[in-house]
Chains A and B, each alone.
Chain A
Amino acid sequence: MFLKGINESTLFPIDTIKVVEVAGKVGFNGIEFRIPKIAELIKENKIKLLIETLNSYKMEVISLNSIVDFNLIPSEKFGKILRKTIFLSKVCSELNCSMLIVCPSFISDIKSYEKNYIFKKTANRLELLAKLAREWNINIGFEFLGHSACSVNKLSDAYLILEKISDIENVKLVVDTYNFYLSNESLEVFEKIPIKMISLIHINDAPEIPREKLTDDDRIFPGEGVIQLKKILNILKEKGYKGYVSIEVFNENYWKEPPQFVAEKAIRSLEALL
């Protein structure tokens, strides 16, 4: 049995408190917040109100999205990421949220980097982030991005990186079906990964246009596109995955619609698959 989640990006332009209300009304179990939106609430001193709203809809906070560009930035800039991790771990803890998501760097000259270098550097930095987050019982969710310019753009690579730090228990994989589709890897990859290594599924679909032309804005609701979502979910089910499947789209066309309508459409599309 999967839990139904929604990422704030799906209903993006509206106020975060309103997102919780709309998502809670239609029956989502959990929500993922965007870090800049949470930062706004902190500034406005509205975190208490957010917690009260979450409680009133019995919704849990699945994750905070995302610390980006952590693995290949120069050493002297990495301190900023470490400090951000400490700050956001405290915020997660206050929201009773157990996961902080991090995404790898984009690089224009990816071919000039040796894979081993990227793997080692990413593993070492993930370990540092995880050890800091551990103080607040927060897990680091490592989400590869399927674009060719991303330094870690395959599920199999993300898994190999995590294997290098297998003694660190609070780093897990976040698998986004759109990114998986972009990476063009076979579904067999899922078979090789121990299910305990996967902490969250971002679910979404892709329209039938060539992969290299797809951007994040093209994401559509599950079931409306060409990604083999049923097969992916079946594999996960068979392997015993029991966590969140969370809808994450960044589609401006959806943002133009009334939020309640979009949230209802989102949960229906998810329930049709689960």
Chain B
Amino acid sequence: MKYGIVTSMVTDTKEKLVGLTFKSFEEAFSIIKEIGYDGVDIFIEDISKFNIAQIKELSKIYQLEINSLDTSSVYEKDSLFFSHDNEKIRKKAIEKVKKYILAASELDSFVNLSLVRGNIYNEEKRK
């Protein structure tokens, strides 16, 4: 069995972050490796600013697997989710998650859908 941990990066936003939080991914990877983990699950705050090349390099030099990319912020920050009443929102959620899938394919990792599935309220009223 291998050990992994969720990590995220401190930014200047006030968003609630997930897992161990660091000033930079470099700091995160160096410390996580020294502690003895085998891999990381990355909480991505904004996929459009996610630097795949940097993560690839860090994964190689620190010899840490990228287990998954976490999509929580799509739900929490962008308020997009697959089960939304509004079709436009649902489509936007799909488009956003596609970007995670492309990034994950380059990093040979999974995408954690987590909250982006969304919640269904008043189910009986929905068509």
Contacts and interface: CB of A to CB of B under 8 A. Distances in A.
Interface stretch (B24-32, B67-75, B96-104, B108-116): B24-32
Contact of A75 (B30, B58, B61, B63): B30
B34 to A, nearest CB: 5
B27 A131 contact: no
Given A124-B34, A128-B33, A76 B61 contact: no
A79 to B, nearest CB: 6
B62 interface: yes
Contacts of B61: 79, 82-83, 86, 132
Chain A CB within 10 Å, residue with most, of B26, B31, B61? B61
Interface in A150-185: none
Contacts of A121: 34
Interface in A10-51: none
Interface string A75-102: 1101100110010000000000000000
Q: Which bracket fits the contact residues of A?
A: 10 to 19
A256 to B, nearest CB: 42
Contacts of B30: 75-76, 78-79
B27 A82 contact: no
Contacts, number: 29
B73 to A, nearest CB: 25
- Give the interface SS of chain A, mostly helix, strand, loop or mixed: helix
B62 A82 contact: yes
Contacts of B26: 76, 79
A75 B63 CA distance: 14
A128 B31 contact: no
A84 to B, nearest CB: 10
A131 B61 CA distance: 9
Nearest to A127: B63
A131 B31 contact: no
Residue from B26, B29, B31, B33 having most chain A Cβ neighbours under 10 A? B33
B34 A131 contact: no
Contacts of A86: 61
Contacts of A83: 61
- Most chain B C-beta atoms within 10 Å of own C-beta, residue among A76, A121, A131: A76
Nearest to A82: B61
A165 to B, nearest CB: 13
Nearest to B24: A76
A274 B45 CA distance: 64
Nearest to A86: B61
B29 to A, nearest CB: 8
A126 to B, nearest CB: 13
A70 to B, nearest CB: 13
Nearest to A78: B30
Interface in B14-73: 26-27, 29-31, 33-34, 58, 61-63
Contacts of B33: 75, 128
Contacts of B58: 79
A63 to B, nearest CB: 22
Nearest to A135: B60
A136 to B, nearest CB: 13
Contacts of A76: 26-27, 30-31
Contacts of A78: 30, 34
Interface of B: 26-27, 29-31, 33-34, 58, 61-63
A-B pairs, 7 with minimum CB distance: A75-B30, A82-B61, A75-B34, A75-B31, A76-B27, A76-B30, A78-B30
Given A75-B31, A79-B30, A131-B63, 15 more contacts: A75-B27, A76-B26, A76-B27, A78-B34, A79-B29, A79-B58, A79-B61, A79-B62, A82-B61, A82-B62, A83-B61, A121-B34, A128-B33, A132-B61, A132-B63
